[in-house]
Amino acid sequence: MRAGYRAPVLHLRVIVPADMRADVLDVLNRQVGVAHVLMYPGAALDPEGDEITADLARECANDVIKELKGLDAQHRGAITLTVLDTVLSTRAHRAEDDAAGDPADAVVWDELIGRTREDATLSVTFVLFLTLACLLTAIGVVTDSTVTVVGAMVLGPEFGPLAALSVALVQRRMALARRAAVALVVGFPIAMGITALATWAAESIGWISLDSVQHVEEVDFIFQVGPVSFMVALLAGAAGMLSLVSARSSGLVGVFISVYTVTAAGFAVVAATVGAWDVAGKSALQLAVNLVGIVLAGVLVLVLRPRGRLVGRTARKS
């Protein structure tokens, strides 16, 4: 397995009633990239039924899950997938070689949907991180500190809901889209409202003024919006989605410090609070450009990704 990529083999467990046993085994025996099929009759107690397990190459996981869902296995029982970090088996390696494509390019949709759903959930933790990022931006504006603003970029959790929106649009998952939209639509106003109160308090005691906002030099890139801003958002969004589907978490750090989403929101609040409406307007536009660019890039990556399929797929030989 190449370092930084998802393991090429997944462990599948299916729990189904006894009357579905033959159909599930038929799916597993027909699919390329399946190895180590085991069946435990009557092993499941709740729900009552059989437990059937197998090891899958990532490249064939979507096909297997689709066929099992076609049997209604997820409703009559359960389907679970587990990543196997180490597999010492010639048969498993042969199954992975027989599966079309490369495991680094394979997108297991149910796995990706589950991961982005968690990251897109509106929670106290999500709002706190978003608020802290906006407050750090405010401090970065007051001190004209690039380092502080970059810290706010890294801290911001907004990429999760944006990635979830991309997945939801490609997979037509309206529930996931609503979840992500709620996180953004509710989370940002709360964080920006708290930042506005903090800015008002800082202004009242003389820590920040209209002049300090209009004459920043080190952090003025936040509201310098233009075509380059959209290109950066597209590239960062593409890199972020590739990091998610290939599990290269190190790439996400580069994404966080490349876009101005949360910092644009924080700067817009600070500028509006002290009356710098031109800067506030430019920052708000920067926020919109980054939101649209990241989601669009995520959609393009998922639509144009390598499919990892052969034209003439054949059944697995016994």
Q: Are residues 71 and 123 in the same domain?
A: no
| Structural domain span for residue 80 | 9-106
> Do the domain assignments include residue 150?
yes
> Do the domain assignments include residue 315?
no
Domain count along the chain: 2
Select from 106, 133, 148 the last residue of a domain. 106
pLDDT at 248: 57
> Do the domain assignments include residue 28?
yes
Q: For the residues 281-300, what does the mean pLDDT come to? A: 93
Q: Are residues 140 and 254 in the same domain?
A: yes
pLDDT at 254: 55
Q: What is the pTM of this model?
A: 0.75
Residue with tokens 């690039």: 146
Q: Are residues 261 and 118 in the same domain?
A: yes
Select from 106, 140, 162 the last residue of a domain. 106
The answer on pLDDT for 311 being more than 70 is no
* pLDDT per residue as tens digits for the range 7-47: 578 899 999 999 999 999 999 988 888 889 999 999 988 88
Q: Are residues 36 and 122 in the same domain?
A: no
* pLDDT per residue as tens digits for the range 174-209: 999 999 999 999 999 999 999 999 999 988 888 888
Select from 64, 86, 106 the last residue of a domain. 106
Q: Are residues 192 and 277 in the same domain?
A: yes
Q: Are residues 239 and 173 in the same domain?
A: yes
* pLDDT per residue as tens digits for the range 66-102: 899 899 999 999 998 888 877 888 877 777 666 665 5
- CATH code of 30's domain: 3.30.70.260
The answer on pLDDT for 109 being more than 90 is no
> Do the domain assignments include residue 280?
yes
> Do the domain assignments include residue 66?
yes
